[in-house]
Structure 1
């Protein structure tokens, strides 16, 4: 029996992880879901955020998982399919190559095992008026392969942004199957069973090359070390990630203040604090915080920006507000 599968795509900061977390909370209790998470950064934050939801999570950190002839992605998908899930959700990195991911999932290799349903693309309507995004090939490709478009963060949009979203959807050729404006990434779980448009994903796929690090299994914190740090770069973006030992505790108020002051385009973390374990998500200068039930967890923080930031200075600040 082929496993119903969905790609949930979208650029940095559109709310893909939040949307998947909402779906996991609503999944039927008798179903086992698997989630393949791909992140541009080296640390792997999204999988940690989903740990509480009872799904089987597998991460491919360190850049676009379709690179290296798709080996990291194929290996990860095969491992998840061996667990016989009732549904598979694939979350490519916001800087990933959407056509390549789609081509892998519809290849002969997985034809007998994957029933690919509608691809759901999330977009922040405000980005549809910003040349920085409109001129980005990955941004456009992600929306192009999406059968369903979800305009997320409508509560943060102006009327003009909503009008731009509506005009954009109307102008799409071929037309999208469905579109909806939502907030906090909440859309009907029934959309996952929508059939995808019958189009070949292999056409017009350009070869691409990256500067980012060679993809490999997520690294662990070495014994007797309280933190490790890894950096990545590619497609005009830079990332820096840290893992802190489970014994390291951050002052909650100080950490919230530090994350609020970071000017980077994307900040994610799952951190042990004086108030407990929390997931931090920073996008467009807004810090979202969600309590988690993790215990004895290694804190993880990832920062992504189009500029190379002073990572040493940030690390020094993080040490000062922690128990290191």
Structure 2
């Protein structure tokens, strides 16, 4: 009989691992869904999702793996929320990967780092000696949105460029509106950042208004990369990333006064105990990372919010870059996935609680105006007002 030590050695030996990166809102979920849907039926896969915020929503947004044709037990998903696994402390990454490997014994691991991170530190970490025998690193797949690239604020953004620089394969989507000259300019821009990257121009097939998939030829090209070794990871690059402190506060139930005093007390009580899955609901957190402001809310499942008014409220948030959530509404449980170029909602099964997360662009009054009527965000945004506004939407 195989003893525990030999079994562990077998589990951690040369497991193919793929990074799927891309800037915030690039379309990584569609690509990962496609990879999961293409999984051989007799294989066990694992997916590690790193969310920059603290609420934990992306696992719910990955819906295709729940298809009846796919054995749910053959795909394990673990979310690491509340910061970037690309930071200089490797402990969260080591724990998350080790647990996935030991608990589920996958035959393939896919890692999705947050879209706000510079992936080079993660690449460096996964090149460390203690992973070189456990993980067999395959091509780094990076998703790039043609809609985003056309805007100078993205093209000139260090974080946006970082994903292209550290890619083995670049999957370009949302480019149908680009002219031939635009495509040539995009190719030249890519070549300046990364001369070795392999480019896939991915066309999509719209199965339903809320569900898109890649064309068959693109799926084949993408799947081929799962068995292609990464030359980027072999270079063992490094980057330094710092993280400012985070804040979390308790909220009052609807129809209850939300006074500055009560919020201050909640903040004081939680300042050394950041938002956790076991925290008393409802609550909200907010934090600043790089030049982005993140905020999230978790509400009890019995709170039912006006569906239309909720979406209108979310879209009025200033200079938002990403909005996502799974929320109990007057139209049932809704999955919300908004980017500046795509507003998607769909119905989902009942959840244990409602979750919302928003990412806003911080800046001066003249910076980062995404929508004509949007106002810029500053670090002094009044979150108490936002809390009260959200609570008024509860039926």
Count of residue pairs the alignment pairs up:
319
More displaced 10-residue stretch of structure 1: 227-236 or 51-60: 51-60
Distance 1:30 1:251, change over 3 A: farther
Scaled by the length of structure 2, the TM-score of the pair is: 0.73
Equivalent residues in 2 for 1:212-231 (5 A)? 212-213=245-246, 219-223=276-280, 225=281, 227-231=282-286
Aligned-residue offset at 1:57: 1.6
Contact between 1:3 and 1:115, CA under 8 Å: does it hold in 2?
yes
| Among candidates 213, 216, 231, match of residue 198 of structure 1 | 231
Deviations 1:85-141 (A, max 9, x none): 122111111111211111222221111211111111111123334342233322222
Alignment partner of 1:196: what SS? coil
| Among candidates 129, 137, 142, match of residue 158 of structure 2 | 137
RMSD: 2.7
Q: Which residue of 2 aligns with 1:99?
A: 120
Distance 1:134 1:178, change over 3 A: closer
- Rounded to whole Å, the distance in 2 between the matches of 1:23 and 1:320 is 41
Alignment partner of 1:256: what SS? helix
- Rounded to whole Å, the distance in 2 between the matches of 1:207 and 1:172 is 20
Distance 1:19 1:272, change over 3 A: farther
More displaced 10-residue stretch of structure 1: 52-61 or 141-150: 52-61
| Among candidates 158, 162, 167, match of residue 183 of structure 2 | 162
Runs of 5+ unmatched residues, structure 2:
1-12, 67-71, 205-211, 248-271, 363-377
Does residue 208 (structure 1) correspond to residue 241 (structure 2)? The answer is yes
Q: Which residue of 2 aligns with 1:312?
A: 384
- Rounded to whole Å, the distance in 1 between the matches of 2:357 and 2:140 is 26
Contact between 2:172 and 2:199, CA under 8 Å: does it hold in 1?
no
Q: Which has the higher contact order (CA 8 A, sep 6+)?
A: 1
Q: Which residue of 2 aligns with 1:241?
A: 296
Q: Which residue of 2 aligns with 1:277?
A: 333
Deviations 1:40-85 (A, max 9, x none): 1111111232376333221221222122521111110111111211
Question: Larger radius of gyration, structure 1 or 2?
Answer: 2
Q: Which residue of 1 aligns with 2:37?
A: 25
